Amino acid sequence: MTALLVMAGCGGAQDVSKGTPASPSGSDPSSGGATSPGATGSGGLPEGFGAGPPGNGLTRFYDQRVSWARCDGGQCASIWVPLDYSDPNGQAITIKAKRQLATDPANRRGTLLIDPGGPGGSGIDYLGYIGLDKTVTAVYDVLGFDPRGVGQSTPVDCLSNAKLDAFVASDPTPDTPAEVKQLQQLSASFASGCVARSGPLLAHVSTVEVARDMDIIRAVVHDAKLDFFGASYGTYMGATYAALFPKKVGRMVLDGAVDPLAAPRQSAIAQAAGFDDALTSYLSYCVSQGKCPLGASVDAARSRVISLFKQLDANPLPTSSGRVVTEGLAFLGVIVPLYSRDSWPYLTQALQQALDGRGDTLLLLADIYADRQPDGTYANNSLEVQPAVNCLDHPETESLPRIEAGGRQFIDKAPVFGPAAMWWPYTCSNWPVAPSQPRPDFSAMGAPPILVVGTTRDPATPYEQAVKLAAELKSGVLLSRDGDGHTAYGSGNVCIQQAVDTFLVDGTPPAAGTMC
């Protein structure tokens, strides 16, 4: 998994060259593709959507009339947003959305936008598993959307399935000149593929642009304020929206918070340490169960995991499918069960099998992370979206010598995952497009209370990031869960559930600093 950033979240684009200032037409919004320059015809545009007079700017997007059609489990629509907000009369791209209507329409208070994180997570898919309490779904239309670049919306595309397989399986811990050269080649191939297959879209998938799209969605559903539930990277989306539109914030919950002001290197170190801490919690559980395949103590078990990764660097494990489990795939296979305590028994099974010389369960877990299907296709483009968004939000300049020189910082903080995490910044150090959006002021002055939720042993978004975000937001209110796993809502913690539900339904936040 060379230089592949680990998702904070759960867990083919055609050219989008700018067209004329005429109405964005000539494409089928259901494809999620961009419009053709200079094309004519209705192209499936929302009713009443026109170019408007020159200089009208964003009015045509805010005033568009969207047609919601029945779809599986809800209503679906295509919403148009500008490719480039500095050129609103130019090309438009598609945002796909799905909503489930409030079950108590007489007491409906508006629309609750949701996002599961990533970058690259599908808000449309999230609608099917978020598990909001019935008191919330009674009064809100719940709307999931795929952010620009993601899934059913106009998507980022970088590699063929076969090349993505090779990228994901590649060596995450290059420790010879030949392996470092391979890292350089793979990263260059990934970046050039993104340019060739995504076109101008690649420069316009920043979180600032996603947040501006969210404000258009707010207008399209006729809400004066934006109510939002974001998990993991979704908290970054929410915090960015609050920074840009503080007076338009309604009731906002940010669960599994990302600190938007963290420096890329420090963020990578913190995330690697978070996964190491989560692994320690798992190893304590494994040892306490008796007959842990990794050893009789936590230290012995940790050493065995490190040895297993090193072993796979040289000798991948066979599987019944004919594919082999490389160190990169094993790295993902171990990470996935750390997101939820309920998955720990699967990790024990995978590690026991690996020690016995087979990699089937580790491969299954790695494929779950990557959303790779048995036929070799990928269910979504999340692995390609991650660097595309992260490299615009947090541009990097670290050279290979500096990365190698700074490796000890990672290994000291995270002896298991640090040797791989030290290379994560490399992709962004060589990213082919530069950010065009300035960083907003994350104090979000003037916003109402924003509920920031953190979990003390969250592997993907370490708890201290929630603490920092709550402090950075002028109106941030910190709610904490003492526990394991990624994010807090839906974890079975009644205290968290009640606090979040009460805030969304009644607007009353818990006391700042509440620990559940």
Active site residue ranges: 232, 458, 486
DSSP state of 155: B
| DSSP structure string for 212-257 | HHHHHHHHHTT-SSEEEEEETHHHHHHHHHHHH-GGGEEEEEEES-
Alpha-carbon span 234 to 256, nearest angstrom = 9
- Counting Cα atoms < 13 Å in the Cβ hemisphere of 324 gives 12
Q: Are strands 450-457 and 249-255 parallel, antiparallel or unpaired?
A: parallel
User: Which tokens is 21 given?
Assistant: 């200032």
Pair of tokens at residue 296: 């009789």
Instruction: Retrieve residue 142's tokens.
Output: 């719940």
The one-letter amino acid code at 377 reads T
Distance separating alpha carbons of residues 190 and 339, to the nearest angstrom: 27
What is the SS3 assignment for 109? coil
Phi/psi region, residue 490 (left: phi>0; alpha: psi -120 to 50; beta: rest), is left
Distances (CA, A) of 458 to 62, 464, 473, 501: 38, 10, 21, 21
Retrieve residue 405's tokens: 């020189």
What 3-state class would DSSP assign to 381? coil
Angle ∠(486,487,493) on CA atoms, nearest 5:
110
CA 470 vs CA 119, 256, 442, 443, 463: distances in Å: 21, 12, 10, 10, 11
Secondary structure of 468-511 in HEC code, one letter for each residue: HHHHHCCCEEEEEEEEECCCCCCCCCHHHHHHHHHHHHHCCCCC
> What is the sign, positive or negative, of the torsion defined by CA atoms of 15, 124, 42, 81?
negative
Residues forming a β-bridge with 5? none
Could you tell me the sign of the dihedral formed by the alpha carbons of 387, 392, 396, 397, in that order? positive
From CA 184, how far away is CA 157, in angstroms rounded?
Answer: 20
**Cα dist. 18→37, 93, 202, 432, 435 in Å?**
6, 10, 13, 19, 18
Report the relative pairing of strands 92-100 and 74-82 from DSSP bridges: antiparallel
Cα torsion angle, 276, 277, 278, 283, sign: positive
Residue type, 383: L
* Closest by Cα among 116, 111, 165, 120 to 325: 165
Give the C-alpha distances (Å, rounded to integers) separating 160 from 154, 264, 332.
Answer: 17, 28, 20
